Chains A and B, each alone.
Chain A
Amino acid sequence: MVDQIARLPRTASPLFPGFSLDSVRRGAEAILIPVGALLATAIVFGLFVAAAGADPLETYSLMYRGAFGTWFSWQNTLQRTAPLLLTALCVALPAKLGLVIIGGEGALVMGGLVSAAVGAALIGVPPWLLLGLMAMAGMAAGGAWIALAGALRQFRGVNETISSLLLAYIAIALMNHMVEGPLRDPASLNKPSTPPLGEANMIGSIPGLDVHWGLVFGLIACLAAYVLMQRTTFGFGARMVGGNVRAARMAGLSVTTLSMITCFLAGASAGLAGMVEVAAVHGSAKASLVAGYGYTGILIAFIARQNPLAVIPVALMFGGIAASGGLLQRRLDLPDATILVLQGIAFVMILASDTLYGRFRIFQPRG
């Protein structure tokens, strides 16, 4: 009772006008709880590695070296961060509307396949035009793939989580079919692939780095997604749908339009990841496009709490973890699935930590 008087309005700190302590508290909660969950993950994973017969501290120091220890490993990490930024957006954008889309792998594969087909068909046009057309085709294909899951949800009430994952399996089957059949390059013998783009038509590296431009695309996409969702009317509408569909309908928002556009953008970003993998890494569409980036993207989006800006550091961390996998395999004889186990533990911990929000008094607004 006495407290209440003492806690009466103090919206802005006297020293910095417009700066409220409450926003700091909320921000601290949003950062410290996931960090705490990741620390808990580190402990559980350490125990797991110890049970498997490896020294946890050595494992972590090797992971650090493999991810960020040298200039070479930094570049390896950044190379893997690029597609992860884009596949995480494929989960984070629909999540604003309350949709749980987990089929980013399918959109990535479709984007890669269609852009490789376009590239093979139009070989001979100037590289910048070719790459532009490939990117557009890849984004359209990936966008259509996730928009399909969104449409099924909107018009038929089909659960989008299940349908998007089924569509991912279908996309992989479709790619295998095209790569081994109609689009197969006769010169690819053991590992069937589409005709190679050729060195001259590939996306080059960022000057001074051995990292391709896909990283820049990913960063721009994350910034654009943030602006779209937090600073535009469209984003406000989308977040309103995610908060309360009925209220959004009452306010006259078209839920269908908002969710179709958002799903298309989400799929387009994963499709762009596929195009970048084809045009900057593999040089053609083939089975190695299915590398699990779509699934890691789900985890990244959840850790980033579906915030496109927070996706950037989290994707960097998981790019690093993926990059260090090879070193763990060589030096500690741990199987490549070690990384999957770490991701699984992190995912479980992060979701369990959802229960902690609002539990700590220190994070609560005092105003």
Chain B
Amino acid sequence: MEDLGWWGVVLAVLAGAIRVSTPFLFVSLGELLTEKSGRINLGLEGTLVMGAMSGYAISYLTGSPWLGVLVAGVAGALFGMLHAAICSLPRVNDIAVGIALMLLGTGLAFFLGKAFIQPQAPILPAIDFGWWSDVPQVRAALQINVLFVIGLLLAPFLLWVLTNTRWGLIVRTVGDSADAARAMGYSVDLVRLAATMAGGFLAGIGGSFLSLYYPGSWNEGLSSGQGLMAVALVIFARWHPIRCLGAALLFGGAGALGPALQSVGVSQGYYLFNAAPYVLTLVIMIATCSPTRTLAGAPGELSITK
């Protein structure tokens, strides 16, 4: 194995950006869709953990990791349904319901996932994009999972749906002015239910990536706030799917910094480097938010920016 020195760190961060960003990407696209309909779902952290657990369990029980991904998405959609159903009751606060579902999702996943901590389930395959290189680190870095590619295509697709289709217009109308949508004869609750379920579906898939590809096993410390950071990431991306993609890659790179430094022997401050994504999120939020004006691109009905 060649010694790449500090270039190894750069390479590992870039490779990590691709690998670690996938769950960020899926959760943030899901959250973006939900927020476009005017509701915020803080519970995606719980959905993510639930997706990771159910995907892993199904992959172990059936031997098919892709079935696991699908079931993870369905589990996420069910959580989205629960969120939307409770929030559609009058005088119920969507942020608080999100916090509750964060606790419920995590608890349920830990409860049901107890039996799946030990066994090894079949995990998702990777596509080898690095066949042309002789350097093992480069080859390892270019082992890219199919889900990342799907996420890469999903971002422009979502942008197209939101800007150019009838459905996208309905979702945005509901998100910007519930009264206008009602006047046009659309059911606000129904549209939000669909958007929250679709968002939960994507977040569940993001969770399955954690357990079925990287790190590639199920345990209780699997998610460390990715679902929550994705919510902040959507604000940073100003509710734009393509900027979400860029932000997810940035967060992935920050998340890969700690392990990359450790691999070249920098173990001092390992925990501090692991906190890099949280600090980055906070710094980004401080830089982008403003106390006096509403953020450009924010859906008008969103409680978090009002």
A residues at B contact (CB < 8 Å): 52, 100, 102, 152, 154-159, 161-163, 165-167, 169-170, 173-174, 176-177, 180-181, 295, 298-299, 302, 335-345, 347-348, 350-352, 354-355, 357
Contacts and interface: CB of A to CB of B under 8 A. Distances in A.
21 contacts: A100-B96, A102-B99, A152-B286, A156-B285, A156-B291, A161-B99, A161-B304, A165-B228, A166-B229, A174-B271, A174-B275, A177-B271, A298-B103, A299-B100, A302-B96, A337-B108, A344-B100, A344-B107, A347-B100, A348-B86, A352-B86
A269 B86 CA distance: 32
B114 to A, nearest CB: 4
Interface string B88-99: 011111011101
A162 B232 contact: yes
A166 B111 contact: no
A158 to B, nearest CB: 5
Contacts of B271: 173-174, 176-177, 180
Contacts of A339: 107
A53 B275 CA distance: 40
B278 A170 contact: yes
B290 A156 contact: yes
Nearest to A296: B103
A298 B96 CA distance: 10
Contacts of B297: none
Interface residues of B, dominant DSSP? helix
Interface residues of A, dominant DSSP? helix
Contact of A347 (B104, B111, B279): B104
A173 B291 contact: no
Contacts of B42: 161-162
Contacts of A348: 82, 86, 97, 100-101, 104
B165 interface: no
Given A162-B42, A340-B111, 15 more contacts: A156-B291, A158-B285, A165-B225, A165-B228, A169-B225, A169-B275, A295-B103, A337-B108, A337-B111, A339-B107, A340-B103, A340-B108, A341-B111, A342-B107, A357-B91
A162 B231 contact: yes
Contacts of B286: 152, 156, 158
B68 interface: no
B278 A351 contact: no
B110 interface: yes
Nearest to A176: B271
B133 interface: no
Contact of B278 (A166, A295, A354): A166
B118 interface: no
A157 B96 contact: no
Given A347-B99, A351-B97, A170 B279 contact: yes
A162 B236 CA distance: 13
A345 B105 CA distance: 10
